[in-house]
């Protein structure tokens, strides 16, 4: 479990300014509800002073997303639009006495929603600065401009940190090389706002593809040496129980992002599952199935395929 501060818990269980804002004259929307993170920020701005008189939010996401959105509305109320634009995602995290590293992307989402709302008020078209051909992480639709901006603003130096702040690289991992190139570019250009160029080290890939683990039994204090032996072959019943155990160990991870999975049918090496909730239609669906498949193959000691239940008829027809 991640270590949440008392302030994060307070803003999650008792969110401030949640819900629609009836007389809002500025609205910013970021994220995708299909992948578990989306935020709508509404502002009431005084036309004469451009001061934010009120703010509210509607969030679809985890506890950190709700807490970050709640904190943001508290921070910006009473500020002018120009003052609000100076607020960084780190300011949001600091207001909450810190966020788990794996949840820093929630504060980045809040910062983007604020930029979008202010642009909406000023009649401007806000974009996420995506440039054609600059998409780095296809799993989470994160482009090079966003990664570079977040790296500079937060002093990031590793792929793992980039994943924590943007989600980029947390899926199939094929974009790690592209993230490394951006980190090297920022370092070569003088580093970040927090880390000067001489302190930049060559970024190391420390993030692995998404995997799901189950607790291992504690090792004996003084294990006796044993000769290597082939593991005993599982009976059909043992194999089914092992599959159920592994899937049950994975479900809490998916539920944290409002998703779920259930085993529908076991047909030899083909295991058909039904994804539910936010996992349905998500861009990470392929990576999720791949992670489950990898863990099952490891635990069963055999190569298996994890397929969506929608493919059951087609697979059986081809046999």
Long-range contacts (CB closer than 8 Å, 24 or more residues apart) made by 83-86: 84/52, 84/114, 84/118, 85/114, 85/115, 85/118
Among 62, 106, 139, 175, the one annotated catalytic: 106
Give the chain's mean pLDDT: 79
Grade residue 224 by pLDDT with cuts at 50, 70 and 90.
Answer: low
Catalytic annotation on 187?
no
Question: Is it the case that residue 319 has pLDDT exceeding 70?
Answer: no
Q: Is the pLDDT of residue 206 over 70?
A: no
Residues 6 or more apart whose CB falls under 8 angstroms from that of 211 comprise: 291, 294, 295
Range with lowest mean pLDDT among 23-27, 227-231, 304-308, 310-314: 227-231
What value, to the nearest 5°, has the Cα angle with vertex 99 and ends 175 and 61?
A: 70
**Catalytic residue flag (residue 35):** yes
Catalytic pick among 35, 175, 200, 279: 35
The alpha carbon of 246 is separated from its chain's Cα centroid by a whole number of angstroms, namely 22
The yes-or-no verdict on residue 261 having pLDDT over 70 is yes
Alpha carbons 173 and 263: distance in angstroms, whole number: 26
Residue 217: per-residue pLDDT: 45
* 73, 106, 214, 219 alpha-carbon torsion, rounded to 10°: -90
The pTM of the full predicted model, rounded to 2 decimals, is 0.54
Residues 6+ apart with CB under 8 A from 37: 31, 60, 61, 62, 65, 105, 106, 109
Cα torsion for 169, 174, 176, 182, to the nearest 10°?
-100
| pLDDT confidence band for 57 (50 / 70 / 90) | very high
Q: What is the largest CA-CA distance in the chain?
A: 81
Q: Which residue has the higher pLDDT, 198 or 275?
A: 275
Most confident of 43-52, 131-140, 272-281: 43-52
Residue 183: count of CB within 10 angstroms of its CB: 25
Q: Is the pLDDT of residue 221 over 60?
A: no
Q: How would residue 96 be classed by pLDDT, with cut points 50, 70 and 90? A: very high
Q: How confident is the model at residue 81, as a pLDDT?
A: 94
């Amino acid at each position: 479990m991640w270590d949440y501060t008392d302030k994060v818990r307070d803003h999650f269980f008792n969110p401030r300014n949640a819900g629609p804002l009836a007389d809002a004259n500025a609205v910013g929307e970021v994220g995708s509800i299909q992948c578990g993170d989306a935020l709508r920020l509404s502002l009431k701005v005084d036309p004469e002073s451009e001061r934010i008189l009120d703010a509210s939010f509607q969030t679809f996401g985890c506890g950190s997303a709700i807490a970050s959105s709640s904190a943001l509305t508290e921070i910006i109320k009473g500020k002018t639009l120009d003052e609000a634009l100076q607020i960084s995602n780190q300011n949001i995290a600091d207001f909450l006495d810190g966020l788990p590293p794996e949840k820093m992307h929630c504060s980045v989402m809040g910062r983007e929603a604020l930029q979008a709302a202010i642009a909406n008020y000023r009649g401007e078209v806000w974009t996420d600065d995506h440039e054609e051909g600059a998409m780095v992480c296809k799993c989470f639709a994160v482009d090079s401009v966003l990664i570079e901006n977040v790296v500079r603003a937060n002093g990031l130096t590793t792929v793992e940190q980039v994943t924590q702040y943007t989600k980029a690289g947390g899926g199939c991992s094929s974009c790690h090389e592209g993230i490394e190139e951006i980190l090297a570019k920022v370092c070569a250009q003088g580093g970040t706002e927090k880390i000067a160029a001489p302190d930049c080290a060559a970024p190391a890939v420390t993030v692995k593809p998404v995997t799901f683990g189950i607790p291992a039994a504690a090792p004996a204090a003084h294990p006796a040496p044993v000769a290597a032996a082939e593991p005993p072959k599982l009976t059909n019943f043992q194999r089914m129980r092992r599959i159920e155990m592994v899937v049950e160990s994975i479900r809490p991870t998916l539920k944290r992002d409002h998703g779920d999975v259930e085993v529908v049918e076991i047909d030899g090496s083909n295991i058909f599952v039904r994804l539910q909730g936010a996992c349905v239609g998500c861009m990470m669906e392929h990576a999720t199935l791949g992670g489950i498949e990898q863990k099952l193959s490891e635990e069963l000691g055999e190569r298996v395929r994890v397929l969506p239940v929608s493919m059951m008829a087609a697979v059986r027809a081809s046999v």
